[in-house]
Amino acid sequence: MRHLISTLCFAVGFTLAFALFAAMDIFVFEHFEKMWGKAISFQVSLWLIVVGAGIAALSFGAGAAVFKFVPRKTSSLVFGVSFAAVVFGASWAGKLLSVSSGSLQVTLAVLMLLGGFAFSGILALFKRGQNGEQSNIAG
């Protein structure tokens, strides 16, 4: 049950932070689909954020199960926010570099799958380091 709660905290942090980033991107920097307008572009973004949060949360939860640890709720929330910043930064960089939208979407989906797992592993390493346990990774 604690795994589920920490995974939900990760998803909530990711969703809220990414929604804030998307709102800033659409309403402040005016990066939106001109044909749809700002409001509909933001609604579509919110739906995509929920799907992305689900993918990232499943990946994070799977990583926590593989690394056999239960992250704290606050740590999961903070890592969800920071992971949203990483994914949003990658998305923004792809837009600035004029990467085609299809390849950008595939890249972001792979980033969310692998990144959630990797963030869980990083959190596990931090927890093992705090407890004074010897890490088997890299010698």
pLDDT, tens digit, 9 for 90 and up, residues 38-68: 999 999 999 999 999 999 999 999 999 999 8
Average pLDDT over residues 72-87: 94
Q: Does some domain include residue 136?
A: no
Average pLDDT over residues 122-137: 71
Q: How many separate helices (H) and strands (E) can be counted in the chain?
A: 4, 0
- Tokens encoding 135: 């890490």
pLDDT tens per residue, range 103-115: 888 999 899 999 9
Q: Does some domain include residue 73?
A: yes
- Tokens encoding 25: 């991107």
Q: Does some domain include residue 135?
A: no
pLDDT tier, 139 (very low <50, low <70, confident <90, very high otherwise): very low
The yes-or-no verdict on residue 136 having pLDDT over 60 is: no
Domain count, the chain: 1
Q: Which domain holds residue 121?
A: 2-130
- In this prediction the pTM is 0.86
DSSP secondary structure string for all residues of 96-120? HTT--HHHHHHHHHHHHHHHHHHHH
> Which pLDDT does position 104 carry in this prediction?
87
Q: Does some domain include residue 52?
A: yes
- Tokens encoding 8: 């939900």
